[in-house]
Structure 1
Amino acid sequence: MKIQGKMFIWLSVFILAMAIVYAVWSKEPAGSTALFLAFGLSIMVGYYLTFTARRVDTGAQDNKEADVADDAGELGFFSPHSWQPLALAVGGALAFLGVAVGWWLMYFSAPIILVGLWGWVFEYYRGENRTQ
């Protein structure tokens, strides 16, 4: 985390310099405000990462002798054969198409989204995995 913190601190210095140059040359308030806000966000993230890096153990990214595999770990559980993301994708595509074509298309997309979401959340609450 030390490396990431330093990267964000240096990025914030660069963004601050560019914000000052942009504000002086362009005299445009919206872009200048956006750049100063980006500086604030970058300095907050950099401070958080450097503050947190002092309290946690040294990670593999901070060790110059580390291999890529040293930082590998548990990625989580992913369902190997779920059809629910496909239903959510079709429902979401219809919903976004409804914004462009007409709101009446939401009547068809909402049930597909709800069924896909319900199926995905409760996918493992039936059969042998059901809790009683």
Structure 2
Amino acid sequence: MKIQGKMFIWLSAFLLVVAIVYGVWSKEPAGTTALFLAFGLSIMVGFYLGFTARRVDVGPQDNKEADVADDAGELGFFSPHSWQPLGLGLGGATAFLAVAVGWWMMYFAAPLILLSIWGWVFEYYRGENRTQ
């Protein structure tokens, strides 16, 4: 985490310089404010990462001789053959189409989205504790 903290600190220094130059040169308040807010966000993240790096063990990202695989963790379980994302995508596309064509299409999109989410959540809910 040390290197990420240093990167954010350098980014905040760069953003501060850019915000000052932009503010003086353009005299435009919205962009200047956005740049100063970006400076504030990056300094907060950099300070947090630097503060936390001193209190935790050295991670693989701080070891110069570490491999990429050393930082890999468990990725989780992903369903190999689920059809529910297709239904959810079709329902989402229909919902976005309803904004352009007409809100009446939401009557078709909402049930498709809800059924797809329900099917995806309970796809592997089997066994003695399942609902009847």
TM-score, normalised on structure 2? 0.92
Could you report, residue by residue, the CA deviation over 1:65-99 in whole angstroms, capped at 9, with x for unpaired residues? 11112112211111111111111111111111111
Q: Which runs of 5+ in 2 are unaligned?
A: none
1:76 equivalent to 2:80? Answer no
Q: In structure 2, give the amino acid aligned to 1:61.
A: Q
- Structure 1's consecutive aligned runs of 4 or more residues displaced over 4 angstroms after TM superposition are none
CA shift, 1:6, in A, is 0.7
> Which residue pairs with 2:123 in the alignment?
123
2:93, 2:4 → 1: CA distance?
36
What is the alpha-carbon root mean square deviation over aligned residues? 1.2
**Percent of residue pairs identical:** 81
> Which residue pairs with 2:57 in the alignment?
57
Number of residue pairs the alignment of both structures matches: 130
CA shift, 1:131, in A, is 2.4
> Which residue pairs with 1:5 in the alignment?
5
> Which residue pairs with 2:35 in the alignment?
35
SS in 2 for 1:125: coil
CA shift, 1:49, in A, is 1.1
SS in 1 for 2:75: coil
